[in-house]
Amino acid sequence: MEKREERAVEEGAAAAAGGEAEAAAEAEAEVNPWEVSGKIDYDKLIDKFGCQRLDQSLIDRVQRLTSRAPHVFLRRGVFFAHRDFNEILDAYERGDKFYLYTGRGPSSEALHLGHLIPFMFTKYLQDAFKVPLVIQLTDDEKCMWKNISVEESQRLARENAKDIIACGFDVTRTFIFSDFDYVGGAFYKNMVKVAKCVTYNKVVGIFGFTGEDHIGKVSFPPVQAVPSFPSSFPHLFNGKDHLRCLIPCAIDQDPYFRMTRDVAPRLGYHKPALIESSFFPALQGDTGKMSASDPNSAIYVTDSAKDIKDKINRYAFTGGQDTKEKQRLYGANLEVDIPVKYLSFFLEDDDELEHIKTEYGSGRMLTFDVKKRLTEILVEIVERHRRARAAVTDEMVDAFMAVRPLPSMFG
């Protein structure tokens, strides 16, 4: 469970790099918190993991309960699986609210769009349901796994916090914390309680630790488990031990949260609910790995309009035909086309997306046009983000990270 949501994106839905025994073309894809490979069959994954599909009836229910259109990621099946989300909605209908928990492992300064996706969705959940949110920055994890210094990991945590805040979270409902700052007190007490419930063999099974791994890694899992329990935040949820928790994350985190869900009832807490997303493809498509060391595999929030245009034009894997003539005859292969996939994430207008898919798939529209529209949309998103980020001061980060009550968090 080294990385969080962005891990999925960094490994990418890559063709098997020969790592695992099962990695033949048609064979099982490998999906776990530290590796994502192969062509993913999401239905099989849901079966294998034992989570639920997020079907249309749940989406309709969300729309009814929140009195607003469901987020584009729900409509397009980006967030497509869950555990106990229906129970969260049942409780919500009865008047029992919940809180959100998400996080980031601050391993690099440069964030790309894939990193932003869980945060964009979490912001929507915060606004739609009017519930509080805790965001964990696992600087300790990165210090241990990436072998960077304590100071550097703390610095990265603060830098990443700025990008996260720029996604538009409401300071009166959001608590951001870094492990180095916050672990202790009630949080640590819960960590010890969790640790007592999980055997060494179990963590080895889930996380694949070996005798060579240092003990910091082995004792880390509880740190990421306990934010699911309201008593870890006495300044926020004092006396609300039965408050439920909903965790938006990428589906590769599922095995990790299974550990937490297993432990929760033994400690007298509700199991945290999960709402899970598929992976954000690398620019080069299924055969590419989105990686921080290859700036051309992803669109970064620091990219200029020109960078974005160039990256889409030069590196995006398309399903269009080689020539205009062929394109008009055969149309594009929408299954593998990255621009269309990206549009399905970021183009809000359902009708326009349908139109593009029909026209492009039949050959009446060219790859050039699809890329142009995508570039427009991505530039708008990135520039909006940049502007918001420029308005985030160090004082604002301090405010978000202050241990303080949030009196209107359910308002």
Partner 1 sequence: MGYTKDQLLARLQELRIEFSKYEHPVVLTVEAQAKHVGNVGASLSKNLFLKDKKQRFYIVSALADTKVDLKVLSQRLGLGKGGLRMAPEEALGEILQVPLGCVTPFALVNESARHVSLLLDQGFKSQQGCLFHPLSNDTSISLNTLSLDKFLKSIGRDPSYVDLEANPKVGKDQPPDLAALVPSDSIVLPEFAEGAPPSEHSNENHAATDVKPKAVKAKAVKTPAVAEKVKDKSSTGVLPSISFTDAGQFVEEILDKTSAILLSEIRDDTVRQHGEQLGAVVSDTLRKRLSSELKNLAIMFKNTAYTEGFHAGTRHQPKRP
Q: Which stretch binds partner 1 (CB under 8 A): 138-146, 278-286, 293-301, 363-371?
A: 293-301
- For residue 294, state whether it binds partner 1 (rule: CB under 8 A): yes
Cα 330 to the chain's mean position, in Å?
36
Residue 198 or 392 having the CB closest to partner 1: 392
Rounded to whole angstroms, the Cα distance separating 46 from 26 reads 18
In the complex, what is the shortest distance from the CB of residue 395 to partner 1, in angstroms, rounded to a whole number?
Answer: 5
Residue 326 or 387 having the CB closest to partner 1: 387
List the one residue from 32, 52, 86, 302 that touches partner 1 (CB under 8 A).
Answer: 302
- For residue 309, state whether it binds partner 1 (rule: CB under 8 A): yes
Q: Are 27 and 54 in contact (CB under 8 A)?
A: no
Among residues 39, 47, 38, the alpha carbon closest in space to that of 20 is found at: 38
Residue 217 or 372 having the CB closest to partner 1: 372
Among residues 248, 243, 249, the alpha carbon closest in space to that of 270 is found at: 243
- For residue 168, state whether it binds partner 1 (rule: CB under 8 A): yes
Rule CB under 8 A: which of 193-212 touch partner 1?
Answer: none
Count of residues engaged in binding partner 1, rule: CB under 8 A: 41
- For residue 128, state whether it binds partner 1 (rule: CB under 8 A): no
List the one residue from 219, 304, 313, 362 that touches partner 1 (CB under 8 A).
Answer: 304
List CB contacts of 257: < 8 A, sequence separation 6 or more: 83, 228, 247, 249, 272, 274
C-alpha separations of 307 from 119, 278, 291, 333, 341 in Å = 23, 26, 17, 26, 20
Residue 165 or 274 having the CB closest to partner 1: 165
List the one residue from 99, 119, 169, 315 that touches partner 1 (CB under 8 A).
Answer: 169
What is the torsional sign of CA 65, 68, 72, 76?
Answer: positive
In the complex, what is the shortest distance from the CB of residue 128 to partner 1, in angstroms, rounded to a whole number?
Answer: 12
Q: Which strands make up the sheet holding 133-137, listed edge to edge?
A: 52-53, 79-83, 273-277, 244-250, 98-104, 133-137, 174-178
Residues 78-117, one symbol each (x = binds partner 1 by CB under 8 A, - = not), give ------------------------------xxx-------
H/E run at residue 8: helix 5-11
List CB contacts of 270: < 8 A, sequence separation 6 or more: 242, 243, 244, 245, 264
In the complex, what is the shortest distance from the CB of residue 382 to partner 1, in angstroms, rounded to a whole number?
Answer: 11
- For residue 147, state whether it binds partner 1 (rule: CB under 8 A): no
Pairing of strands 174-178, 133-137: parallel
Residue 266 or 387 having the CB closest to partner 1: 387
Residue 213 or 294 having the CB closest to partner 1: 294
- For residue 32, state whether it binds partner 1 (rule: CB under 8 A): no
User: Residue 14 has what DSSP assignment?
Assistant: B
Structure tokens at 106: 């601050």
User: Residue 281 has what DSSP assignment?
Assistant: P
- For residue 352, state whether it binds partner 1 (rule: CB under 8 A): no
Q: Which stretch binds partner 1 (CB under 8 A): 43-51, 57-65, 142-150, 164-172?
A: 164-172
In the complex, what is the shortest distance from the CB of residue 303 to partner 1, in angstroms, rounded to a whole number?
Answer: 8
- Residue 210: count of CB within 10 angstroms of its CB: 7
- For residue 48, state whether it binds partner 1 (rule: CB under 8 A): no
Rule CB under 8 A: which of 366-395 touch partner 1?
Answer: 379, 383-384, 386-395
113-129 helix and 150-165 helix, angle to the nearest 10 degrees: 60
- For residue 137, state whether it binds partner 1 (rule: CB under 8 A): no
List residues binding partner 1 (CB under 8 A). 108-110, 127, 159, 162, 165, 168-172, 292-295, 300, 302, 304-307, 309, 379, 383-384, 386-396, 398-399, 402, 404
